[in-house]
Amino acid sequence: MEMVKVTHNADGTTLIAIDRPKRKNAICAVTAIELQQAFAEFDRMDSQRVAVVTGSGDDAFSSGADVSNIPELWRCIPTVGITTEKPVIAAVGGWCVGGALVLVMMCDLLVAADNAKFSYPEAKLGFTGGLISALPSRIPHKIAMELIMLCNTIDAKRAYEVGFANRVVPTGTQVEAAMAMAREIATFAPLVLKTIKRFVVEGVMPQGPSELMAKAARDLAAVRESDDGKEGQRAFLEKRAPKWTGH
C-alpha cells in the first residue's frame, strides 16, 4: 500500500498506520480506500484479533480530509465503511481533525498522547459529511456540541475528562501503549468480544441518517466492485450470457 502501512504481528495484533507525514497524514481518496482495504484484510484473518490505528509521527494522527483530493471518507470509518466485530483501538498523537475525529470516534478504545488535540472545524469551512452527529452519543451532549458548533479544540486532558479517551500517555508512547492494550485484549475470548461489540453497535449506539446512508453506499459499492459486477459489464459488452460466481 502507498499511503497506509500495515503490520500483522504473531501475537494477534495488527498495526495500521496512515503514512503521509508530509501532509500531516491527511486522508485523500487513495488513503481512504487503502484504510478500508487494510481493515477488511484484518477482519478476514483468523489469526488477527485486535487492530490499532494510528498516524505516522507524533505531530498529527491526521489533519482530516485532504481537500486537494477529496476522499469518500465513509470508506475508512469503523462500523460504517468497515464491517468488523473485532476490537479497534485508536492511538492518537498531535492533531486529530475533522474526518479523522470521526474515525477515532468510531473506534472502540482510544489512547491519546498528551499533545493530542481534537478539532472538528467543518462549520467554519461550510461543508459536512454528517457522521459527526454520532458524537453526542459517545460523550456528553453539550461537550459534543461545543466541538461541533463552536469548532473549539479540546486537548488530551479534556478528552479524558469527558470520557472520549481511555488513557493519556507521554507523547511518543501512544502507539506502544495502545499495542500493549491490544496484546492484552488478544488473549481474551474472541467470540465473547465479537458478540458484545455487535450488541453494542447494533443495539445500543444510535445510527443517524448519514451513517445509514454511508452503510448503504458501502453495500452498493461492494456489489459494483464485485467480480459479478465486473462480469455483468463484460458480458453485456460482449453480448453473451454472464457467468455468475456470487463473489
Q: How far apart are CA 184 and CA 214, in angstroms?
A: 32
Instruction: Write the pLDDT tens digit of every residue in 151-179.
Output: 999 999 999 999 999 999 999 999 999 99
SS3 17: strand
**What interhelical angle do 227-238 and 209-224 show, nearest 10?**
50
Residue 203: predicted pLDDT: 86
**Contact between residue 98 and residue 65 where contact means Cβ atoms under 8 Å apart:** yes
**What are the φ and ψ backbone dihedral angles of 28, each rounded to 5 degrees?**
-95, -175
Q: What digits encode the pLDDT tens for the residues 34-72? A: 999 999 999 999 999 999 999 999 999 999 999 899 999
Tens digit of each residue's pLDDT (9 = 90 or more) over 126-137: 888 889 999 999
Average pLDDT, the chain: 95
Instruction: Give per-residue pLDDT as tens, 63-86.
Output: 999 989 999 999 999 999 988 999
The helix (run of H) or strand (run of E) holding residue 123 is helix 122-125
Residue 29 grid coordinates: 481518496
pLDDT score at 9: 98
CA 56 to chain centre: 15
Q: In DSSP terms, which residues pair with 169 in a beta bridge? A: 113
How far is 18 from 64, CA to CA, in rounded Å?
Answer: 11
Q: What is the pLDDT of residue 214?
A: 83
pLDDT at 180: 98
Instruction: Measure the CA–CA gap between 56 and 34, rounded to whole angstroms.
Output: 15
Model confidence pLDDT, tens digit, residues 101-118: 999 999 999 999 999 999
For residue 128, what pLDDT is reported? 87
18 pairs with which residues across the strands?
4, 55
| Residue matched to cell numbers 468510531 | 106
> In this structure, are residues 112 and 66 in contact, taking their beta carbons and an 8 Å threshold?
no
Domains located in the chain, CATH noted = 4-188 (3.90.226.10)
What DSSP element (H or E) covers 154? strand 154-155
Contact of 168 with 114, CB cutoff 8 Å? yes
Best CA proximity match to 86, nearest among 182, 16, 190, 189: 190
Neighbours of 154 (CB within 10 A): 21
**Contact (CB, 8 A) for 37 and 76:** no
